[in-house]
Amino acid sequence: MVRRVICVLAGGVGAARLLAGLVRVVPPAEITVVGNVGDDLVLHGLHISPDLDTITYTLADQVDPDRGWGLRDETWQAMDMVGRYGGVAWFNLGDRDLGTHLYRTHRLSEGATLSEVTAEVVAAWELGFRLLPVTDDPIRTRVTVVDPDAEREVGFQEWFVQRRHDVAVRALRFAGVEEASPAPGVLEAILEADAVVVAPSNPLVSIGPLLAVAGVEDAVRSVRDKVVAVSPIVAGAALKGPADQLMTDLGHEATVVGVARLYADLAGTLVIDEADAALVGAVEAEGMRALATPTVMSTPDVAAELGRTLLGAVDVAP
């Protein structure tokens, strides 16, 4: 039996949910995930990769089912102490989560690449798929926000977490991306894929950093017919996070049509939610095929069915 390659371009939570469905449909060994590292940060001396960890923890079934984020059985003793000292507490790090960051930071200090450490973490959770950071080089998403009086550039997490993305955005850039090379295997995974799935992640700050790394956007464009994207915008709003507001702030239409304009060069098909079925024609007017189907992944069953639809859209049998 020939092993297929399903390549998923991924951000955080939305991508993780899709992957949780996809692994019910195809063998995990057939899946290569290319993950975002633009929202990585170094805090308290630790290298934190939020999107990679969200994928790992979700697929390892370690996410707290009640909160919907963070780890099961998590405790907050370290952050309580940081708080006692008046330290930086806006980026909440649970004790279990810290263990991942301690391990990653130590391995990086030994000279391991982020790819290598990520593979080790995924192996420890016995996940079976490949998770590749898009690059082993440091790239950092920087956000120009409008303070009451002046514009100011802040780190992604300062905008996203500390300021709860509750401030108008003027510009984005991915610092360091000019010097970044794709991590080993990234371009091959795209070019050799039977299907490239663009997860329902934020097109600008989750998928954007992937495409900004040298060669990635060209690779995706070169296999456009095998590329199927899922709109993170449903009925004019982001299911989670600030994608809608951010698209509006940066001059894009916060609808599936706006998403289609961002992806038309890269993906042959855009999958939109059934709530947007009336916009199939408008999406196709942007030069993409449109498929309307349930995309709100309220259960793993819905996610699995979405996975089947995505593979079917590019003629890959589940």
- Asked if residue 61 binds its own copies (CB under 8 A), the reply is no
- Asked if residue 109 binds its own copies (CB under 8 A), the reply is yes
- Asked if residue 112 binds its own copies (CB under 8 A), the reply is no
* Shortest Cβ 25–its own copies spacing (Å): 28
Only one of the segments 3-11, 69-77, 159-167, 206-214 lies at the binding site for its own copies (rule: CB under 8 A); that segment is 69-77
* Shortest Cβ 184–its own copies spacing (Å): 21
* Shortest Cβ 64–its own copies spacing (Å): 14
Q: Which of 2, 45, 68, 166 binds its own copies (CB under 8 A)?
A: 45
Give the 3-state secondary structure of the chain. CCCCCEEEEECCHHHHHHHHHHCCCCCHHHEEEEECCCCCEEECCEEECHHHHHHHHHHCCCECCCCCCCECCCCCHHHHHHHHCCCCCCCCCCHHHHHHHHHHHHHHHCCCCHHHHHHHHHHHCCCCCEEEECECCCCEEEEEEECCCCEEEEEHHHHHHHCCCCCCEEEEEEECHHHCCECCCHHHHHHCCCEEEECCCCHHHHHHHHHHCCCHHHHHHHCHHHEEEECCEECCEECCCCHHHHHHHCCCCCCHHHHHHHHCCCCCEEEEEHHHHHHHHHHHCCCCEEEEECCCCCCHHHHHHHHHHHHHHCCCCC
Q: Which of 3, 66, 84, 166 binds its own copies (CB under 8 A)?
A: 84
Within 122-141, the residues that bind its own copies by CB under 8 A are 124
Count of residues touching its own copies (by CB under 8 A): 36
Only one of the segments 99-107, 143-151, 270-278, 305-313 lies at the binding site for its own copies (rule: CB under 8 A); that segment is 99-107
Report how far residue 207's alpha carbon sits from residue 1's, in angstroms, rounded to the nearest whole number: 32
* Shortest Cβ 178–its own copies spacing (Å): 25
Within 5-44, the residues that bind its own copies by CB under 8 A are 43-44
- Asked if residue 98 binds its own copies (CB under 8 A), the reply is yes
Only one of the segments 2-10, 116-124, 172-180, 240-248 lies at the binding site for its own copies (rule: CB under 8 A); that segment is 116-124
Q: Which of 105, 113, 144, 248 binds its own copies (CB under 8 A)?
A: 105
| Footprint on this chain of its own copies (rule: CB under 8 A) | 43-47, 73-75, 77-82, 84-88, 93-100, 102-103, 105-107, 109, 120-121, 124
